[in-house]
Amino acid sequence: MCGIVAYLGKREAYPILINGLRRLEYRGYDSAGVALMDQGKLTVYKCKGKVSDLEAFVGTRSTQATVAIGHTRWATHGPPNDVNAHPHQSTSGDLVLIHNGIIENYASLKVELVNRGHSFLSDTDTEVLVHLIDDIQRTEKVDLAEAVRLALQSVVGAYAIVVLDKKAPDMMVAARKSSPLVIGIGDGEYFAASDATPIVEHTKNVVYLEDGEIAVIDREHGLKIRNVKNQEKTPFIQELELHLEALEKGGYDHFMLKEIHEQPRSIRDSMRGRLNLAKGEVVLGGITDHEQKFVNAKRILIVACGTSWHAGMVGEYLFEEFARIPVEVEYASEFRYRNPIVGEDDLVIAISQSGETADTMAAIELAKNRGATIIGICNVVGSSIARITHAGSYTHAGPEIGVASTKAFTAQVTVLTLMALMVGQKKGVLSGGHFHRLLNELDAIPEKVQKVLGTEAQIKYIADIYKNATNALYLGRGYTFPVALEGALKLKEISYIHAEGYPAAEMKHGPIALIDEAMPVIVIATKGASYEKVVSNIQEVKARKGKVIAIVTEGDTVVKDLADHVIEIPETSDALVPLLSVVPLQLLSYHIAVMRGCNVDQPRNLAKSVTVE
C-alpha cells in the first residue's frame, strides 16, 4: 500500500503534491511527508498522521519548489511515527526517496551497509534503499539514474519508488516492480503517482510503467525509460478516461455513501454493451477469444481477497447453477502458499477491485506458471492484474475511494452473472426461455437497487437502535450466504463492531450459543428456495430473545410478524438477490459507523489497495 506522488515542472509543486496525496490517502494514512527541491536546496517535512496533519505541520513554512515528492504511508516495517514516515534521506542528505512496497532482503542489505559505515534512523525497509543508491553512486561514481538501476539489481521485493538528488536538482528517477506507478506527461511538466487520480486534473496523457522499468525525468531531456537491464524502452503514452468528478464526493458526506448511491449507475455501466435484450445475448468482448475455454472447462477456480472473495462465492453459485461447472473459491493468500492442484485444464478467474492486491497477483502468477488460463475481473483500468491476466472483463464501476468496498462488489457480481449466463447459454445448459427471463431480470436490477436505496431513512432508524451493539450475527442461505459474510465484513471494518457471517442453518452448530437479548441478528430472508428454512432459523433466534433485522421480499407478511424490523427489497430471481440484499447491509454499516463517530472512508488499520502479502 502507501501512496506516492511526484512533480517536476514550472509550477509550485507543494499544492499539487498535497492535493495528490489527498487523493491517494485511501492507500494508507498513518503518516505523510514531502521533500521539496528548490535550486539544489532540499527540505523534508514529514509527520505521523494524515495529510491534513502534514499540512498543519508545514503551516506557513517555506514550500517553494518546482521539483518534489510526497508520500502517504500504511506502516509495514516500524510503527507509524515521524521518523518512519517517508521520504527517507541518505546520510549525506543528498538523496531523498519515497517507496511503496516491501524490500524483502532489507535486513541483509542493511547489515552490509552498516558495515560500510552507513547509519540508519528509522525501522523501515525503505531507508535501506536510499542508502544503497547513495553507496553505489559514491563507489561506482555514476549518476543518479545509473545508481538506481544498479541498486535495484540487488533488491528482492516489491517497489514503486521516486528518488531526487540534490546534485541533480532538475531530475527525478522513478522505478517499479510489482507496485503500481503511473507517469503523467503535461506541458513542460511531469508527474509520477501510484495511480492516475493525482494526475488527471493536470493531464490526460500517461505512461504506465512496466515491472523492471526505470523512468528518468529531466527538465531538459524530458522522459526516458529504460529497464534494469539497461535497455531503452519507448514510452507508450495512453489517454486517461478518468473524469475528475468521479474523484469528488459530489455533495455526499463520505465517499462510501456516494458509492453506495452510485450503484444503480455502476451496475448499469457493468452491463452496458454486454447485455443485449433485443438480440437476447450476452457479449463480453474481453473474453470472446476464450469462450471455448469456458465452455469446455472441467473446473473453475476463483481467487480473490476480502470483498472480492465474497463476490467470488456468489460466482461459484452462479457458475454451478447456470453453467454446471464445478467451482472452487480460494483466498488468494491461502492458494499461493499451498501446493494447489492447478494446471492447463483449469480456468482461473481472479477478482480484484484495485487490480493490485499482492496475494491475488501471486496466486495468478502461480496458476499461470502451471499452465492455467487466467481471466481477470478488475475495476481499475490498466492495473497490474488486468495486465498479467490472459483476458478479462472490467467492472466499469468507476473509481472506488471509500476503503470499504461497495459498488465494486455489486459490479463484480454483475460481471460474474453475465459470464455465467453467457457460458450457460453457450453450453446449452440454460434453456432459451430461462436465459431470456434472467436477462430481463438482470436488466431490471439497477431500477430495483434505486428502490432499495429508498429505504435509507428506515435503515438509519434501525442503525440508531443498534449502534452500541458489541456483536452482530449475519445469516443467509444459498446465494445470500456470501451476502451475510459481506454484511458482517462491512460492519466490522468501518464501525469496529465484532460481526460474523454464517450460513443460516449452521447457526445451530455454534453461534446460537451467543444469542441473547443484546444480540442483533441480521437475516436475509427473501422469498426463494430456502425461504421456509430461514423462517425457522428466525424463530430459533426469537426463541432465545435475539433481535432480528430481516431483509425480506416486498409484501412478505410471515417474517414481518416474527422479526423486530424488516427491510423490504423488490422481488427478483434467487441468483440476483445478492445485488439487492447487500445494499441495505452497506447502508446499515455506514449509518452505524457514522453514529459511532468512526472515520468511515478511512477505517483504522485498513487500506484499500493491499500491495503487501
Task: Give contact residues for ligand G6P (rule: CB under 6 A).
Answer: 305-308, 352-354, 357, 360, 403, 405, 606, 608, 610
Cα distance between residue 150 and residue 133, in whole Å: 8
Element of type H or E holding 131: helix 126-140
Least distance to ligand G6P, CB of residue 135, Å: 36
Q: Assess whether 2 carries a catalytic annotation.
A: yes
The CA-CA-CA angle for residues 179, 185, 191, to 5°, reads 50
Calpha distance 171→166 (Å, rounded): 9
Nearest residue to ligand G6P on Cβ basis = 306
Cα separation, 449 vs 437, in Å, equals 18
- C-alpha gyration radius of the chain: 25
In the bound state with ligand G6P, the residue whose beta carbon lies nearer, of 465 and 606, is: 606
* Shortest spacing between CB 359 and ligand G6P, in angstroms: 8
Distance of CA 596 to the CA centre of its chain: 25
Q: How far apart are CA 46 and CA 51, in angstroms?
A: 10
Decide whether 546 or 603 has the Cβ nearer to ligand G6P: 603
Residue 334, C-alpha cell as written in the block? 491461502
In the complex, minimum distance from the CB of residue 305 to ligand G6P, in angstroms, rounded to a whole number: 4
For ligand G6P, which is the closer residue by CB, 208 or 322? Answer: 208
* Residue 47 among the catalytic residues: no
Tell which phi-psi region holds residue 43, choosing left (phi > 0), alpha (psi between -120 and 50) or beta: beta
Considering beta carbons, is residue 307 or 471 the nearer one to ligand G6P?
307
Candidate list 110, 407, 492, 608, residue with the active-site label: 608
CB of 99 to ligand G6P, least distance (A): 20
CA distances from 462 to 39, 189, 268, 562, 589 (A): 59, 52, 29, 16, 11
Q: How far is the CB of 409 from ligand G6P (least distance, A)?
A: 8
The secondary structure element, H or E, covering residue 421 is: helix 407-427
Task: Indicate the residue among 402 and 424 with the shorter CB distance to ligand G6P.
Answer: 402
Q: How far apart are CA 465 and CA 459, in angstroms?
A: 10
Q: Are 55 and 45 a contacting pair, CB within 8 Å?
A: no
> CB of 93 within 8 A of CB of 42?
yes
DSSP code, position 87:
P
The nearer residue to ligand G6P, 352 or 414, going by C-beta atoms, is 352
What's the first-to-final CA gap in the chain, in angstroms?
A: 10
505, three cell numbers? 442453518
Query: Least Å distance between CB 306 and ligand G6P?
Result: 3
Least Å distance between CB 294 and ligand G6P? 22
Strand order in the sheet with 232-233: 88-89, 95-103, 157-165, 168-177, 213-218, 222-227, 232-233
Nearer to ligand G6P, 247 or 403 (CB): 403
- Residue closer to ligand G6P, measured from CB, 127 or 493: 493
Burial zone of 87 (CB within 10 Å; 0-12 exposed, 13-18 middle, 19+ buried): buried
Min CB(570)–ligand G6P separation in Å: 26
Catalytic residue among 2, 305, 378, 598: 2
Nearest to 117 by CA among 83, 142, 152, 92: 92
Active site members: 2, 608
